Amino acid sequence: MTFAQMVSSRFAAILVIAGGLTFAVGCNKSAPGQKTGAAAAPVAAVPGVPSAAAPGGTPAGTTVDAGPGAGAFAKEFLQAIHDGKGNPAHLTAGFKKIVAEPKTEADTAAGFSDWAAEQWLKGLAARVGAGLNVTTAELPDGTTLATAAQATGRVILRLTKAAGKWQVEWLHVAPPGTGEELTGSGDALASRFATAAFIETALADKALDEYPLAVSLLSPALKARIAPPQDAGDAKRGYNAGILSLKMSSLHGGVTGYVVTARDGGAVSGDLLEAGGKKRPFTLKLTKGPAGWAVDDFEVK
Protein backbone atom coordinates (compact mmCIF):
# COMPACT_ATOMS: atom_id res chain seq x y z
CA MET A 1 0.00 0.00 0.00
CA THR A 2 1.13 3.57 -0.52
CA PHE A 3 2.26 5.83 2.32
CA ALA A 4 -1.01 7.75 2.11
CA GLN A 5 -3.05 4.53 2.22
CA MET A 6 -0.91 3.08 5.00
CA VAL A 7 -1.30 5.97 7.39
CA SER A 8 -4.98 6.36 6.51
CA SER A 9 -5.79 2.69 7.11
CA ARG A 10 -4.17 2.70 10.55
CA PHE A 11 -6.45 5.50 11.66
CA ALA A 12 -9.61 4.60 9.75
CA ALA A 13 -11.24 3.12 12.86
CA ILE A 14 -10.46 5.99 15.23
CA LEU A 15 -10.01 9.15 13.21
CA VAL A 16 -13.05 11.14 12.17
CA ILE A 17 -11.97 13.98 9.91
CA ALA A 18 -13.74 17.17 10.86
CA GLY A 19 -13.27 20.70 9.64
CA GLY A 20 -10.84 22.69 11.74
CA LEU A 21 -9.33 19.69 13.56
CA THR A 22 -6.01 20.64 15.18
CA PHE A 23 -3.38 18.61 16.99
CA ALA A 24 -0.48 19.96 19.03
CA VAL A 25 2.88 18.85 17.71
CA GLY A 26 5.90 18.66 20.01
CA CYS A 27 6.23 18.92 23.77
CA ASN A 28 2.96 18.42 25.65
CA LYS A 29 4.03 19.84 28.99
CA SER A 30 2.38 23.04 30.17
CA ALA A 31 4.54 26.10 29.71
CA PRO A 32 4.59 28.94 32.21
CA GLY A 33 2.01 31.49 31.09
CA GLN A 34 0.53 29.17 28.48
CA LYS A 35 -2.81 30.35 27.13
CA THR A 36 -5.25 27.48 26.80
CA GLY A 37 -7.03 27.11 23.51
CA ALA A 38 -4.23 28.79 21.54
CA ALA A 39 -3.96 27.46 18.00
CA ALA A 40 -0.90 25.41 17.16
CA ALA A 41 1.47 26.88 14.61
CA PRO A 42 1.94 24.95 11.37
CA VAL A 43 4.98 22.75 11.11
CA ALA A 44 7.72 24.68 9.30
CA ALA A 45 9.65 23.25 6.39
CA VAL A 46 13.35 22.55 6.73
CA PRO A 47 15.32 25.23 4.84
CA GLY A 48 17.25 22.85 2.61
CA VAL A 49 17.88 19.16 3.10
CA PRO A 50 21.03 18.55 5.10
CA SER A 51 23.51 15.82 4.36
CA ALA A 52 25.89 14.22 6.81
CA ALA A 53 29.18 12.47 7.30
CA ALA A 54 29.07 8.76 8.00
CA PRO A 55 29.97 7.61 11.51
CA GLY A 56 33.65 6.81 11.49
CA GLY A 57 34.19 8.15 7.98
CA THR A 58 34.23 11.27 5.83
CA PRO A 59 32.22 11.72 2.60
CA ALA A 60 34.26 12.21 -0.56
CA GLY A 61 34.85 15.82 -1.48
CA THR A 62 34.54 17.16 2.07
CA THR A 63 37.05 18.27 4.67
CA VAL A 64 37.41 17.01 8.22
CA ASP A 65 37.03 19.72 10.88
CA ALA A 66 35.65 22.15 8.32
CA GLY A 67 35.02 25.65 9.59
CA PRO A 68 36.96 27.04 12.55
CA GLY A 69 35.47 25.74 15.77
CA ALA A 70 32.63 23.72 14.18
CA GLY A 71 33.73 20.41 15.65
CA ALA A 72 34.44 21.92 19.05
CA PHE A 73 31.05 23.65 19.10
CA ALA A 74 29.20 20.45 18.14
CA LYS A 75 31.06 18.41 20.76
CA GLU A 76 30.34 20.98 23.48
CA PHE A 77 26.69 21.30 22.42
CA LEU A 78 26.14 17.53 22.50
CA GLN A 79 27.80 17.29 25.90
CA ALA A 80 25.48 20.02 27.18
CA ILE A 81 22.48 18.05 25.88
CA HIS A 82 23.76 14.92 27.64
CA ASP A 83 24.08 16.93 30.86
CA GLY A 84 20.50 18.22 30.51
CA LYS A 85 21.73 21.75 29.82
CA GLY A 86 21.09 22.13 26.09
CA ASN A 87 20.61 25.82 25.29
CA PRO A 88 17.76 26.63 22.85
CA ALA A 89 19.60 29.81 21.91
CA HIS A 90 21.91 27.56 19.87
CA LEU A 91 19.00 26.43 17.66
CA THR A 92 17.98 28.47 14.61
CA ALA A 93 14.51 30.01 14.57
CA GLY A 94 13.59 27.79 11.62
CA PHE A 95 14.45 24.61 13.51
CA LYS A 96 12.65 25.76 16.65
CA LYS A 97 9.51 26.25 14.55
CA ILE A 98 9.67 22.53 13.77
CA VAL A 99 10.25 21.14 17.28
CA ALA A 100 8.85 23.82 19.61
CA GLU A 101 5.34 25.05 18.87
CA PRO A 102 4.20 28.35 20.43
CA LYS A 103 2.79 28.17 23.96
CA THR A 104 1.90 31.82 24.63
CA GLU A 105 0.75 34.82 22.62
CA ALA A 106 4.32 36.14 22.61
CA ASP A 107 5.51 32.78 21.28
CA THR A 108 2.93 32.91 18.50
CA ALA A 109 4.43 36.15 17.24
CA ALA A 110 7.86 34.48 17.06
CA GLY A 111 6.50 31.22 15.65
CA PHE A 112 8.07 29.04 18.36
CA SER A 113 8.54 28.64 22.11
CA ASP A 114 12.03 28.80 23.61
CA TRP A 115 10.62 27.04 26.68
CA ALA A 116 9.34 24.16 24.53
CA ALA A 117 12.66 24.03 22.67
CA GLU A 118 14.48 23.71 26.00
CA GLN A 119 12.17 20.86 27.03
CA TRP A 120 12.77 19.15 23.68
CA LEU A 121 16.54 19.31 24.21
CA LYS A 122 16.17 17.98 27.76
CA GLY A 123 14.20 15.07 26.33
CA LEU A 124 17.28 14.06 24.34
CA ALA A 125 19.59 13.93 27.38
CA ALA A 126 19.28 10.19 27.95
CA ARG A 127 19.82 9.44 24.25
CA VAL A 128 23.00 11.45 23.68
CA GLY A 129 26.19 9.94 25.05
CA ALA A 130 28.94 11.71 26.96
CA GLY A 131 32.24 12.74 25.39
CA LEU A 132 31.22 11.89 21.83
CA ASN A 133 33.79 12.27 19.06
CA VAL A 134 32.54 14.51 16.28
CA THR A 135 33.41 14.51 12.58
CA THR A 136 32.56 17.66 10.61
CA ALA A 137 32.29 18.30 6.89
CA GLU A 138 31.80 21.58 5.06
CA LEU A 139 29.17 21.64 2.31
CA PRO A 140 29.16 23.90 -0.77
CA ASP A 141 26.33 26.05 0.62
CA GLY A 142 28.56 27.05 3.54
CA THR A 143 26.85 24.94 6.21
CA THR A 144 28.71 22.35 8.23
CA LEU A 145 27.56 18.83 9.02
CA ALA A 146 28.58 17.22 12.29
CA THR A 147 28.18 13.51 12.98
CA ALA A 148 28.83 11.65 16.21
CA ALA A 149 28.76 7.85 16.38
CA GLN A 150 27.59 6.21 19.59
CA ALA A 151 26.76 2.71 20.76
CA THR A 152 23.02 3.22 20.27
CA GLY A 153 23.17 4.79 16.81
CA ARG A 154 24.38 8.20 15.71
CA VAL A 155 23.69 11.89 16.22
CA ILE A 156 23.56 14.18 13.19
CA LEU A 157 23.61 17.98 13.23
CA ARG A 158 23.71 20.64 10.56
CA LEU A 159 25.42 23.85 11.64
CA THR A 160 25.31 27.34 10.24
CA LYS A 161 27.30 30.39 11.27
CA ALA A 162 25.67 33.80 11.68
CA ALA A 163 27.28 36.91 13.16
CA GLY A 164 30.31 34.81 14.06
CA LYS A 165 28.30 32.30 16.12
CA TRP A 166 27.43 28.68 15.35
CA GLN A 167 23.80 27.60 15.40
CA VAL A 168 22.09 24.26 14.87
CA GLU A 169 19.55 24.10 12.03
CA TRP A 170 19.03 20.33 12.10
CA LEU A 171 19.47 17.73 14.83
CA HIS A 172 18.28 14.17 15.17
CA VAL A 173 19.36 11.19 17.23
CA ALA A 174 19.12 7.98 15.24
CA PRO A 175 17.67 5.01 17.14
CA PRO A 176 19.48 1.67 17.40
CA GLY A 177 19.48 -0.18 14.11
CA THR A 178 20.63 2.79 12.03
CA GLY A 179 20.68 1.80 8.38
CA GLU A 180 22.54 3.16 5.37
CA GLU A 181 25.87 4.91 5.87
CA LEU A 182 25.86 8.50 4.67
CA THR A 183 28.64 8.49 2.10
CA GLY A 184 29.26 10.15 -1.25
CA SER A 185 29.00 13.83 -2.09
CA GLY A 186 26.68 16.38 -3.69
CA ASP A 187 23.12 15.29 -4.47
CA ALA A 188 23.95 11.64 -3.78
CA LEU A 189 24.92 12.46 -0.20
CA ALA A 190 21.95 14.80 0.27
CA SER A 191 19.50 12.14 -0.92
CA ARG A 192 21.06 9.60 1.44
CA PHE A 193 20.53 12.02 4.29
CA ALA A 194 16.89 12.64 3.30
CA THR A 195 16.27 8.88 3.33
CA ALA A 196 17.96 8.36 6.69
CA ALA A 197 16.47 11.43 8.34
CA PHE A 198 12.91 10.50 7.33
CA ILE A 199 13.06 6.83 8.28
CA GLU A 200 15.00 7.40 11.50
CA THR A 201 12.58 10.06 12.74
CA ALA A 202 9.29 8.73 11.31
CA LEU A 203 9.79 5.26 12.77
CA ALA A 204 11.24 6.28 16.14
CA ASP A 205 9.33 5.56 19.36
CA LYS A 206 6.35 7.93 19.44
CA ALA A 207 7.23 8.94 23.00
CA LEU A 208 10.27 10.71 21.57
CA ASP A 209 8.09 13.23 19.71
CA GLU A 210 10.35 13.17 16.66
CA TYR A 211 7.63 13.01 14.03
CA PRO A 212 7.67 16.82 13.55
CA LEU A 213 11.15 16.28 12.11
CA ALA A 214 9.84 13.64 9.72
CA VAL A 215 6.92 15.89 8.74
CA SER A 216 9.34 18.67 7.83
CA LEU A 217 10.91 16.40 5.20
CA LEU A 218 7.63 15.65 3.39
CA SER A 219 6.93 17.38 0.08
CA PRO A 220 3.97 19.80 -0.04
CA ALA A 221 2.23 17.44 -2.49
CA LEU A 222 2.49 14.45 -0.12
CA LYS A 223 1.26 16.50 2.84
CA ALA A 224 -1.80 17.52 0.84
CA ARG A 225 -2.50 13.92 -0.22
CA ILE A 226 -2.44 12.39 3.26
CA ALA A 227 -3.94 15.37 5.11
CA PRO A 228 -6.24 17.34 2.77
CA PRO A 229 -7.15 20.90 3.82
CA GLN A 230 -10.35 21.11 5.88
CA ASP A 231 -10.90 24.87 6.14
CA ALA A 232 -9.64 28.22 4.86
CA GLY A 233 -6.64 28.18 7.19
CA ASP A 234 -5.65 24.74 5.96
CA ALA A 235 -6.07 25.84 2.35
CA LYS A 236 -3.54 28.61 2.91
CA ARG A 237 -1.11 26.13 4.50
CA GLY A 238 -1.81 23.43 1.92
CA TYR A 239 -2.74 20.65 4.38
CA ASN A 240 -4.34 20.00 7.78
CA ALA A 241 -1.55 20.01 10.38
CA GLY A 242 -3.55 18.10 12.99
CA ILE A 243 -4.53 15.23 10.70
CA LEU A 244 -1.00 15.01 9.34
CA SER A 245 0.48 14.80 12.84
CA LEU A 246 -1.95 12.07 13.86
CA LYS A 247 -1.25 10.04 10.76
CA MET A 248 2.52 10.43 11.06
CA SER A 249 2.39 9.25 14.68
CA SER A 250 0.70 6.04 13.49
CA LEU A 251 3.95 4.93 11.84
CA HIS A 252 5.75 4.38 15.15
CA GLY A 253 6.42 1.05 16.73
CA GLY A 254 7.65 -2.38 15.74
CA VAL A 255 10.60 -1.33 13.58
CA THR A 256 14.08 -2.12 14.91
CA GLY A 257 16.11 -0.92 11.93
CA TYR A 258 16.25 -0.75 8.15
CA VAL A 259 18.49 -1.50 5.20
CA VAL A 260 18.63 0.19 1.80
CA THR A 261 19.04 -2.37 -0.98
CA ALA A 262 18.81 -0.20 -4.11
CA ARG A 263 19.02 3.46 -5.06
CA ASP A 264 18.44 5.08 -8.45
CA GLY A 265 18.36 8.86 -8.29
CA GLY A 266 15.35 9.72 -6.13
CA ALA A 267 14.01 6.15 -6.08
CA VAL A 268 15.04 4.17 -3.00
CA SER A 269 14.08 0.66 -1.93
CA GLY A 270 14.94 -1.51 1.04
CA ASP A 271 13.59 -3.42 4.03
CA LEU A 272 12.21 -2.33 7.38
CA LEU A 273 13.42 -4.74 10.06
CA GLU A 274 11.23 -5.99 12.88
CA ALA A 275 11.79 -8.21 15.92
CA GLY A 276 12.32 -11.85 15.09
CA GLY A 277 14.04 -11.11 11.79
CA LYS A 278 10.87 -10.16 9.92
CA LYS A 279 11.39 -7.84 6.94
CA ARG A 280 8.91 -5.48 5.30
CA PRO A 281 10.00 -4.18 1.87
CA PHE A 282 9.62 -0.44 1.35
CA THR A 283 10.07 2.04 -1.47
CA LEU A 284 10.75 5.73 -1.03
CA LYS A 285 10.44 8.43 -3.66
CA LEU A 286 12.44 11.62 -3.24
CA THR A 287 11.91 14.81 -5.18
CA LYS A 288 14.27 17.76 -5.40
CA GLY A 289 12.85 21.25 -5.05
CA PRO A 290 14.03 24.74 -4.06
CA ALA A 291 14.42 23.58 -0.44
CA GLY A 292 16.39 20.47 -1.39
CA TRP A 293 15.39 16.80 -1.32
CA ALA A 294 11.97 15.93 0.10
CA VAL A 295 9.96 12.72 0.53
CA ASP A 296 7.24 12.56 -2.14
CA ASP A 297 5.96 9.04 -1.43
CA PHE A 298 6.60 6.10 0.89
CA GLU A 299 5.21 2.61 0.33
CA VAL A 300 5.44 -0.42 2.61
CA LYS A 301 4.58 -3.74 0.95
pLDDT, tens digit, for every residue of 129-187?
A: 999 999 877 766 677 778 898 988 889 888 899 888 999 999 999 877 667 787 777 77
Q: Among the listed ranges 112-116, 179-183, 191-195, which one has the minimum average pLDDT value?
A: 179-183
Q: How far is CA 127 from CA 123, 142, 150, 286, 287, in A?
A: 8, 29, 10, 29, 31
Residue 205's pLDDT band (cuts 50, 70, 90): low
Q: Mean pLDDT throughout 96-106?
A: 94
Q: Could you tell me if residue 224 is left (phi over 0), alpha (psi between -120 and 50 degrees) or otherwise beta?
A: alpha
Q: Are 287 and 267 spatial neighbours (Cβ–Cβ below 8 Å)?
A: no
Question: Over pLDDT 90: what percentage of the chain?
Answer: 41
- Over 90: is that where the pLDDT of 202 sits? no
What pLDDT does residue 130 have? Answer: 96
Main-chain dihedrals φ then ψ at residue 61, nearest 5 degrees: 85, 5
According to the 3-state scheme, what is the secondary structure of the chain?
CCHHHHHHHHHCCCCCCCCCCCCCCECCCCCCCCCCCCCCCCCCCCCCCCCCCCCCCCCCCCCECCCCCHHHHHHHHHHHHHCCCCCHHHECHHHHHHHECCCCHHHHHHCCCHHHHHHHHHHCHHHCCCCCCEEEEECCCCCEEEEEEECCEEEEEEEEEECCEEEEEEEEECCCCCCCCCCCCHHHHHHHHHHHHHHHHHCCCHHHCCHHHHHHCECHHHHHHHCCCCCHHHHHHCCCHHHHHHHHHCCCCCEEEEEEEEEECCEEEEEEEEHHHCEEEEEEEEEEECCEEEEEEEEEC
Q: Mean pLDDT throughout 233-258?
A: 83
- Over 80: is that where the pLDDT of 112 sits? yes
Q: Compare 6 and 253 and report the one with higher pLDDT.
A: 253
Question: Over pLDDT 70: what percentage of the chain?
Answer: 72
Q: Among the listed ranges 13-17, 202-206, 280-284, 285-289, which one has the minimum average pLDDT value?
A: 13-17
Average confidence score pLDDT of the chain:
77
What pLDDT does residue 42 have? Answer: 36
What pLDDT does residue 290 have? Answer: 74
Residue 207's pLDDT band (cuts 50, 70, 90): low
What pLDDT does residue 47 have? Answer: 35
